[in-house]
Amino acid sequence: MYKLTFPDQLLGGPTVGEIGEFEVIRVITEQAGSALNGDDAAVLRHATPNSRTVATTDMLVEGRHFQLDWSTPAEIGKKAIVQNFADIEAMGARPVAALLALSAPPHTPVDFIRGLARGIGDRVGEYSAELVGGDITSGDSLVLSVTALGSLGGSLPALTLGRARPGQTVVAHGRIGYSGAGLSLLQRFGRVNVPPEFSELVLAHCAPELTPGRGMVARAAGATAMTDNSDGFIRDLSQIAKNSGVRIDIDSSAIAPDDLLSGAAALLGRDPWEWILSGGEDHTLLATTFGEPPSGFRAIGRVSKSRPDDLVTLDRKTPAFSMGWTSF
């Protein structure tokens, strides 16, 4: 049977199997505390008038979504929150709470749980949100499942995938291709041997960031459709194009590789456009709007009438890369 191996720096202390369920919960709530956490269920505060609840869930599996020799426990916690809160932001909503379900082998060091919870607590705090509960269980592998809850205020529609219209501008908030480049560097060198000048790319993969509140800003400024770049730039934009019955054309100069991506590509002998177009996990917000780009966003393309051959084009041509992430 496969036995999960933890880095040496986490070993030497007690394990979750030794301290038991309730002490593990205490460790988590100590690092990511909330007055709402600790009962049979969390009772959330009254939502603001004329608001709706937005909910999403996502999982991280060790060896599939993260590796212990690449990421610190805190980075894993931060990544788990961002990939869920990005989905809330992509609807134009505000993240307000998260729940954590965790499966861990009995030999998991308590210090791993402490670091994981610290990363979760730090990241939810950036959004003025809280970890309000969850569940833990013993298992053969390390699996995190986060459920995120958000609030969609006002009467404007949510920023769904099916509301892009011809004539709109495509806008983006965040970096594109950094996470994919970081993953390639980790696969080649491992964490400790990545040249230090590329540490920003590695961090973009291990602990991606998303500026809190950009989804609400885009919705208030008139954006109609939005998603986040989680599965791959072309793949995610294709979902907007397909659901809206439109074609999206991207201006290559607006998303061209910068010096950091180009340097990493030269080192690895790769084409940086592969990371930009199909890398994913940047959690960049991608939206469409009739107006000027909302604050913090930049224009990257246009929406036009659909045509049968392509959902998303680059300079009106078929992109060289479009695969992206697949779950199976």
Range list of β-strands (E), the chain: 51-61, 94-104, 130-138, 143-153, 169-173, 223-228, 246-250, 285-289, 298-305, 312-314
pTM of the model: 0.93
21 to each of 16, 113, 136, 182, how far by Cα in Å? 7, 12, 7, 35
**Local structure of 119: helix, strand or coil:** helix
Specify which residues 305 forms β-bridges with: 246
Return the CA Rg of the chain: 20
Q: How many CB atoms lie within 10 A of CB 23?
A: 14
Q: How many CB atoms lie within 10 A of CB 190?
A: 12
31 and 120 Cβ atoms separated by less than 8 Å: yes
- CA dihedral (126, 127, 128, 129) positive or negative: negative
- Residue 184 burial (10 A CB sphere; 0-12, 13-18, 19+): buried
67 and 100 Cβ atoms separated by less than 8 Å: no
pLDDT by position in tens, the chain (length 328): 567 888 888 888 899 998 998 888 889 888 988 877 777 788 887 777 789 999 999 999 998 889 999 999 999 999 999 999 999 999 999 999 999 999 999 999 999 999 999 999 999 999 999 999 999 999 999 999 999 999 999 999 999 999 999 999 999 999 999 999 999 999 999 999 999 999 999 999 999 999 999 999 999 999 999 999 999 999 999 999 999 999 999 999 999 999 999 999 999 999 999 999 999 999 999 999 999 999 999 999 999 998 777 899 999 999 998 887 666 5
* Domains of the chain and any CATH numbers: 8-153 (3.30.1330.10), 169-314 (3.90.650.10)
